[in-house]
Structure 1
Amino acid sequence: MTKNKQTKDKFVIEASDVSTAWANVLLEVGKPGKRSNPICVVITDQGNNPPLLHRSIHNTLNNFLMKRKETKDKFVTIEETASTIFPYKKWELSGRIGIEALQKWYIGTYLKKYKARCTFSKETYFERMVNFRCVKSNKTADEITHLNQLEYLINKWNTQTISPTKSEMQLSCFDPGKDHTDPHGLKFPCLQQLGFWITPNKQLTLSAFYTTQYIDSRAYGNYFGLLYLGKFLAQQTHSVFHSLRCMVSNPLLEAKKCLLKDVFTEAKNYRIQEN
């Protein structure tokens, strides 16, 4: 297992489980007078089993989020945030079905119920991964279509006799045609782009780029969702999940620090010592 570490400039925080990684990001971003500098989180939660976690800090944060949810709709639980990136529970209960069957269920059944009850967002990241509206060019004319990006990438990797180029293994969550049209400012998506690569010895690394991220209310659930996605990709490509690398250019706190007192106190129990 990779040793937890934190560089002196605090730009990179690395841990072998999601709870420790998130706790140290929270402590770093929550420092008095701290400016919103970019941060890179590396979680080396290796293998295709469910992510490792520390139940104490997990429950402390979830309790905070559930209390905030009673008065503010935009606050949701860890699991709700994670499910917007990947529907892990459904995947597990369905016997780890393939991407085609998962997409069919998600678009045909799940999204209708989700959009009917959800008040904070009418779109999800996974929807854009498996049903991305785009313009497809051909010899005669351009046509508007919906692309299952995940299915394309998985098939591309599995069917090529020669490994695809590294630049091919990426997908978009940001859609300028839709997202640059809101006069009140962009609220979705914060996750812009994803990429993955598999080494010759079958180790898969997933990379994610966020333009901004609320560390207290969203980041922990985001990390879980990304880990779920990475483990799904590893299973679908007959590889082994190795690590998540998540870059955030503008990490912020959504709640006031005084409201996060219990969460900060618990996070200190997982502080990584500087090298």
Structure 2
Amino acid sequence: MIIQGENVTECWLKTLIAMADGPHWELSPFIAHFKTGSKTPVYADELESDLNVYLESVGQPHINTTAGTIFPQSLTGGSEDVFDRFDRIWKYIKKDKRNYKGHYFRRLVAYNEQNGRRVNQLKHIIETYNGIEGVRHPVHRRSALIALTFDPTVDHTAQPLRGFPCLQQICLVPKNDGEVTLNAIYAMQHLADRAYGNYVGLENLGHFMAGEMGLELVEVNCIASVLELGKMKKSVAKEFAEKYKQYV
């Protein structure tokens, strides 16, 4: 199934309505496609508030907390500033018990550090696309603009439940008119518990990378091998759907 939205909120809401109205608890495979340039819909604040109340009730992090694991929006500035500041605060972030299996942004900027080789994949993408004056010419090969979060040296385990990393990789796809698309691939995604925050985080990451590459982010595609409703009961999903379906 593919669901399209003019923005994050519309895309997530359409997906929730489809799942609430349908007979299934999961969709496989699933693609969420949303644009990034339109205005935030008038109902977004209320929907996000309702969703955060639900997330608290089931012991899940708020939308912006989940989004921050993909891109720490509070760290403003150019890429070197963001990378340096995140590196300095990482010792505090990793103490959070929710991050003991790993952290998405950390994987993007310090991949394979468990094995002693830290690779800043985002810096590599930026420098590959822009080039380095006197050192490297710009390279716009699209297969070079990929960053992984799944690390088989750490994540291939025999645990019956692991929970991280659901996000496997991101791909940036520049277009001829100075625009860029961000594609993300998830092995498993939970619609009610994490997807909204995932979408927000991916959009924030996309805007950051686009800005560093001199491009404009215009759309995000989030591909889930399996999309589950999550901890939300069908009855609660139906209540959300009934309250907000008038907007879509």
Work out whether the TM-score is over 0.5: yes
Give distance in 2, aligned partners of 1:196 and 1:129: 13
Q: Which runs of 5+ in 1 are unaligned?
A: 1-10, 70-74, 92-96, 136-142
1:228 and 1:219, CA in 2 relative to 1: closer, same or farther beyond 3 A?
A: same
Is residue 31 of structure 1 aligned with residue 21 of structure 2? yes
AA at the equivalent of 2:144: E
Is residue 210 of structure 1 aligned with residue 186 of structure 2? yes
Q: How is 1:49-88 mapped onto 2 (pairs within 5 angstroms)?
A: 52-53=40-41, 54-69=44-59, 75-88=60-73
Is residue 226 of structure 1 aligned with residue 214 of structure 2? no
Structure 1 residue 134 displacement after superposition: 6.4
Give distance in 2, aligned partners of 1:226 and 1:119: 19
Q: What do you get for the CA RMSD once the two structures are aligned?
A: 2.2
Is residue 131 of structure 1 aligned with residue 110 of structure 2? yes
Match of 1:266 in 2: 243
Tell me the SS of whatever aligns to 1:146.
coil
Is residue 21 of structure 1 aligned with residue 11 of structure 2? yes
Q: Which runs of 5+ in 2 are unaligned?
A: none
1:116 and 1:144, CA in 2 relative to 1: closer, same or farther beyond 3 A?
A: closer
Percent of paired sites with the same residue: 28
Is residue 257 of structure 1 aligned with residue 234 of structure 2? yes
Tell me the SS of whatever aligns to 2:147.
strand
AA at the equivalent of 1:151: K
Structure 1 residue 207 displacement after superposition: 0.4
Tell me the SS of whatever aligns to 1:84.
helix
Give distance in 2, aligned partners of 1:182 and 1:115: 23
Residues matched between the structures, number = 240
AA at the equivalent of 1:21: C
1:119 and 1:125, CA in 2 relative to 1: closer, same or farther beyond 3 A?
A: closer
Tell me the SS of whatever aligns to 1:151.
helix
Match of 2:84 in 1: 104
Asked whether the equivalents of residues 142 and 174 of structure 2 are also in contact (C-alpha less than 8 Å), the reply is no
Asked whether the equivalents of residues 20 and 238 of structure 2 are also in contact (C-alpha less than 8 Å), the reply is no
Using the size of structure 2 for normalisation, the TM-score is 0.88
1:119 and 1:201, CA in 2 relative to 1: closer, same or farther beyond 3 A?
A: closer
Match of 1:12 in 2: 2
Structure 1 residue 200 displacement after superposition: 2.2
Structure 1 residue 56 displacement after superposition: 2.1
Q: After the TM superposition, which segments of 4 or more aligned residues of structure 1 sit over 3 Å from their partners?
A: 117-122, 160-163, 259-262
Asked whether the equivalents of residues 129 and 150 of structure 1 are also in contact (C-alpha less than 8 Å), the reply is yes
Q: How is 1:119-268 mapped onto 2 (pairs within 5 angstroms)?
A: 119=98, 121-133=100-112, 144-159=116-131, 161=137, 163-255=139-231, 256-268=233-245
Asked whether the equivalents of residues 22 and 219 of structure 1 are also in contact (C-alpha less than 8 Å), the reply is yes
Match of 1:72 in 2: none
The structure 2 residue matched to 1:42, chosen from 14, 26, 33, is 33
